[in-house]
A and B are shown apart, each in its own frame.
Chain A
Amino acid sequence: EPEVTQTPSHQVTQMGQEVILRCVPISNHLYFYWYRQILGQKVEFLVSFYNNEISEKSEIFDDQFSVERPDGSNFTLKIRSTKLEDSAMYFCASSGGLAGESEQYFGPGTRLTVT
């Protein structure tokens, strides 16, 4: 069964450093998303991406965040200068295969720890 994959599973970085979280969405999907989950809290939407541009973003997704689809398979989230409060699980999701399905499939997440 096709699945969304994410790397790395755990990333530790120092405050102020840049990080790039990587995702490989399901191959025939057209819509891509990033969410985050601070420990013990609910999952929060960050951004959605379609046709090589951002279609929706939340207040969390400020100028420190950016997304990119550098090739036909990867979808990345970059945090330019990490803050302690960026520590969270970051989930990538994809949806919208050829059948037009809207269900979002989530990856296993990357745990980001900012020290």
Chain B
Amino acid sequence: GESVGLHLPTLSVQEGDNSIINCAYSNSASDYFIWYKQESGKGPQFIIDIRSNMDKRQGQRVTVLLNKTVKHLSLQIAATQPGDSAVYFCAEDAGNMLTFGGGTRLMVKP
């Protein structure tokens, strides 16, 4: 069936380094993707989104890249900070429901 999934379950980076979290999707008709951050004991928090008519979108310290050819998107976090430690999910937004990937845990080492 259609799915949104993640390549790596855990990513450990040094504070100050850049982080890259990857996500693959299988539905070529998907046109809207969102990255969420989930801290322990909290609900998912919106980080950044991208529509399929774009291949790159930048926010504050975060960049999302979308490669429709290989159905892949990534989240880049610049100058990773301890507060970035969380689980990151990509999700496909079908308009009235989100389909989440499996999540990548980002651990930031001081």
A45 lies within 8 A of B49 (CB): no
- Number of residues from B at the complex interface, CB < 8 A: 22
A109 lies within 8 A of B43 (CB): yes
Question: Which of B89, B97, B103 is in CB contact (< 8 Å) with A33?
Answer: B97
B96 lies within 8 A of A56 (CB): yes
Minimum CB–CB distance for B19 against chain A, Å = 20
What residues of chain A lie closer than 8 Å to B45, measured between beta carbons?
106
Smallest CB gap from A58: residue in B: B97
What residues of chain A lie closer than 8 Å to B41, measured between beta carbons?
108-109
A109 lies within 8 A of B42 (CB): yes
Interface of B is mostly: strand
Question: Which of B34, B42, B89, B96 is in CB contact (< 8 Å) with A31?
Answer: B96
B98 lies within 8 A of A35 (CB): yes
Binds B, one of A12-20, A68-76, A97-105: A97-105
Any chain B CB within 8 A of the CB of A27?
no
What residues of chain A lie closer than 8 Å to B34, measured between beta carbons?
103
| B residues whose Cβ falls under 8 Å from a Cβ of A | 32, 34, 38, 41-46, 49, 89, 91, 93, 95-103
Other 9 A-B pairs with CB < 8 A, given A45-B97, A105-B46: A42-B102, A44-B100, A50-B96, A103-B46, A103-B49, A106-B43, A106-B44, A106-B45, A109-B42
